[in-house]
């Protein structure tokens, strides 16, 4: 059985909740990613911030990204899967929450991230099609 741990991007980089959005944007650029987990010093997941969050909830509202912290936008309970979850469980969670990225947790600590592309490389096309349709079907917090 293939698990979340088998396909995740390990060594996920976190942004601190008190760090400004300018740091988050630079980190996303440098890492080539569209989302960052928000973690405390203990590597525990506190939220997720996306490039879309920065644009919609900061820039479009005329706020200064140097003065808005990542934790201000990454509120609410983040969705995640356990490292030993099978791929159907990962897919079901991503469809259910209509997200393109899913944090992977082991022993209450962030250990990686799974993207839509990671699933596409490991699941049949029709299953990925269901995820794409779910994401397109309406707004979601972590797209």
What pLDDT shows up at residue 105?
A: 93
pLDDT over threshold 90, residue 43: no
Which among 134, 135, 90 is positioned nearest to 113, based on CA atoms?
Answer: 90
Q: Taking residues 29-51, what's their average pLDDT?
A: 87
Whole-model pTM: value is 0.82
What pLDDT shows up at residue 84?
A: 97
Structural domains in the chain plus CATH codes: 4-136 (3.10.580.10)
pLDDT over threshold 60, residue 139: no
What pLDDT shows up at residue 143?
A: 41
pLDDT tens per residue, range 70-115: 988 876 688 999 999 999 999 999 989 888 899 999 998 889 999 8
Per-residue confidence at 142, pLDDT binned at 50, 70, 90?
A: very low
The rounded percent of the chain whose pLDDT value lies above 90 is 51
Taking the chain, what is the end-to-end CA distance rounded to the nearest angstrom? 27
3-state secondary structure at position 46: strand
3-state secondary structure 71-133: HHHCCCCCCCEECCCEHHHHHHHHHHHCCCEEEEEECCEEEEEEEHHHHHCCCCHHHHHHHHH
What pLDDT shows up at residue 129?
A: 79
pLDDT over threshold 90, residue 120: no
> What pairing do the DSSP bridges indicate for beta strands 81-82 and 101-106?
parallel
């Amino acid at each position: 059985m293939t698990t979340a741990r088998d396909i995740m991007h390990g060594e996920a980089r976190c942004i601190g909740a008190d760090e400004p959005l300018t740091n988050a944007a630079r980190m996303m650029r440098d890492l080539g990613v569209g989302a960052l987990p928000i973690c405390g010093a203990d590597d525990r997941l506190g939220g997720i911030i996306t490039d879309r969050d920065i644009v919609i909830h900061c820039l479009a509202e005329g706020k200064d990204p140097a003065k808005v912290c990542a934790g201000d936008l990454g509120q609410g309970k983040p969705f995640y899967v356990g490292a030993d979850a099978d791929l159907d469980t990962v897919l079901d969670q991503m469809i259910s929450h209509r997200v393109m990225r899913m944090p992977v947790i082991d022993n209450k600590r962030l250990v990686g991230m799974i993207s839509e592309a990671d699933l596409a490389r490991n699941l049949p096309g029709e299953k990925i099609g269901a995820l794409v349709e779910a994401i397109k079907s309406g707004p979601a917090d972590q797209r």
